[in-house]
Structure 1
Amino acid sequence: MEAGYMLRDFLNLLRITGGGWIYAILILLRCPVDVLFRWTQASFLQRAFNALGQTDRVGLMDACLFFVIATLCSFLYNGTIWLIFAPFCVRMERKLRIKLYNKISTFSYEKVESLPHSEWLTRLNTDVQMPFSQPIHFPHAACSIVNISVSAIILWRLNPSVFGWVILFVVPHIFISQLLIARAMLELNKKSLEATAKNTGELTALITCADIAMLYDGQDYLMKRFEQSSLNLMKTKMKIIRRNSLSAAILPLFGLSGYLVLLIVSSSWIANGHFTFGDLSAAFQYRGGVLVGSLMLINSLISIQASMAGIRRLNKTMLKETEEQLYG
């Protein structure tokens, strides 16, 4: 239900700014990049180690040549997509800021004064960056879903038993990350946005009310309010850093354990000739695709949920009716 509301709010914003179809096409073009690069690495390792095991020099050279050509093509394709996508997002953000400013300009004086000036500044500066300029957002969520799905399918076709062992370690990792990291990070990101908006408001008051503060000897009062809001913002940021550190500590625990168990289990398969070291190397790569894609999806959803407050404020502002619209 919540995901449906998030998608609806984002689509409303795309309808307001325009360019939704271009945005969707660029995301679709970006989705195969991670999967293709993962498949290139896995195929190279599988072919290279199998060639080494058979002392096949020609096969090894073919594998190396394949890796160089495939990596170069992937690099050029990915670079081309991002060279188009990044300027497009900048243009979308600029268009949204202009439309938002023009919309606010049509409001009556009473409506503008109904909110603090810092609130309008937050919408014009911070909120307009939420839909298109976040480091991790909708494009990364789409890419991670494709990466997880394709890596899991290839891993299953490679060896169902290996797939089972991978899932056995990946699922608890995701569950613990969601329980200890994701939920807390969502709340902390919301508090960080609120603290940033309040800090911006205190700074605005400190600058715009400087003359009045000097007249009534209130500089210390305004400065203390600004210092307190800055301290609260810093404390919130420190909590986010601690949660990120905890996430970084959990990753090696499950990641290394999964690798060790997979090595132990697959050793008997390799000894019996049912599995090769090249197949195991490829399985490690696809396991990485499932694990990294899952973590990226969690981080993307955290970022999206944290930014939805700003996106909803933008929708609320853009869809407000002006007095001219109400009374003609």
Structure 2
Amino acid sequence: MTEVEEQSKKPHEIKADGSFNRQKNRFTTPFGNLPGQLPVESGRYRLLWSAACPWEHRSVIVRKILGLENVISLGTASPMRPRIDRVDWEFSLDKDGVDPLLGIRYVSEVYKNADSDYEGRPTVPVLVDIKKKHAVQNDYFKLTNYLEVDWAPFHKKNAPDLYPIHLREQIDALNDVIFHDVNNGVYKCGFAQSQEAYEKAYDTLFARLDELEERLSNQRFLFGDYITDSDVRLYTTLVRFDAAYYNAFNTNRNLIREFPNLWGYVRDLYQTPGFGDTTDFAAIKRHYHLSITISPDKPEIKILPKGPDISVWNLPHNRETLSKSQEKFLIQP
């Protein structure tokens, strides 16, 4: 059974009007030192992800930018779903088809280990307690903020402040808009099961992209000269847009490279350490164009698009001219 078919059987994911309603996260306990919170400990957790998906990509970007790579280990699942009757993430990229540290074949195993009655889709990113092999945190909306704030004692020297206190209220407000209208907006287009729901999501998505295009016309990043958590969140959708969403999700009014400011902006980020070096276009294209999750209607016919041209991502973006500083990359220390 495909993910789309699964969604059609779950009222909480497809509304009566045919619109997509993403399932809620199950493991949302915050990090901290208070009773009942998850302890912040080096080496205790493993972050499971797939390079195909935007939700976990942003956590991986933040993990790398902040220097948490030796503190929280990383397990990488295949961009392809294992079978047409199994909505899961599989560790088929690893030797013997199992995660080398957890010894699991599917991400669903850590969900079932934590809650034997769990019936939702096993999603990534998910942080796993390595000793217990339990899923403990899969709140993709807040995970980057936890890494930026609660994991600060383990940040590398001179790590950037992606979530500065004086901007947090504004960042949270913009993040909420980006999530509903852009990050999840492309999925609302792609998974809509009525023409009306699709067109509503489509119009909302491009209205928001038009606004962001204007916002970035006179400043380098979403909040000025420095990269913040909001830029990470927007990047993971923009970088996938032309290669995946434009065709696979019918978000085909404009390519991102047809927005002058968004195109320069996303290339600026791509050329920044932590962004482009964690972006895997091959995995993205395979997932969205070959996976049974995305195109179940013709499982016997799978064509991997040859384009778009990836070399253009390294062309000069000239976005530094919008900054007070002329540095090529500008991440606030």
Query: Which TM-score band applies after superposition, normalised by the shorter structure?
Result: under 0.3
Higher RCO (CA 8 Å, separation ≥ 6 residues): 1
Structure 1 length normalisation: TM-score? Answer: 0.28
Structure 2 length normalisation: TM-score? Answer: 0.28
